[in-house]
Amino acid sequence: QVQLVESGGGWVQTGGSLRLSCAASGRTFDNYNIGWFRQTPGKEREFVAAISMNFGSPFYGGPPQGRFTITRNTAKNTVYLQMNRLEPEDTGVYYCAAGISDRVTSDGDYTFWGQGTQVTVSS
């Protein structure tokens, strides 16, 4: 089983930056994709970004609009989401997930999920 732990969330003013981390442990494999999603109460879970752990290929959803960057550190089994120019609309719980599918933009593409980290952007 793969365990995922998110960290790096917090409170920031509009225009600020945060760097989220997703640390994977347990029985990990180098062909996993790691994706980031965010959730606001009353709204459907939204795909943010994903990265292939073996190839390092990034994929981005619509919400970041060029403001987010996903990277990985394979030695640490950790994926980072650098979030810049944050806006109040970016507020939510951010989850990372692991999967082996060639698709990365949907909940069903992932098998393991972390518990999330809260991001709050104040106006």
DSSP string, 6-29: EE--EEEETT--EEEEEEEEES--
The set of residues, in sequence order, having a beta carbon less than 8 Å from that of 90 and lying 6+ positions away, is 38, 63, 83, 119, 121
Give yes or no for residue 30 having a pLDDT over 80.
Answer: no
From the list 99, 95, 80, the residue with the least C-alpha distance to 32 is 99
Residues in the chain: 123
- What pLDDT does 22 receive? 97
- What pLDDT does 112 receive? 95
Give yes or no for residue 105 having a pLDDT over 80.
Answer: yes
Residue 69 exposed, middle or buried by CB count within 10 Å (0-12, 13-18, 19+): middle
Q: What is the DSSP letter of 42?
A: T
Dist. CA 66–CA 23, nearest whole Å: 24
The set of residues, in sequence order, having a beta carbon less than 8 Å from that of 11 and lying 6+ positions away, is 120, 121, 122
Report angle CA 72, 80, 83 to the nearest 5 degrees. Answer: 135
Q: What is the pLDDT of residues 34-78, one digit of tens each?
A: 999 999 878 889 999 999 999 999 999 987 779 999 999 999 999
Q: What is the pLDDT of residues 85-102, one digit of tens each?
A: 999 999 999 999 999 988
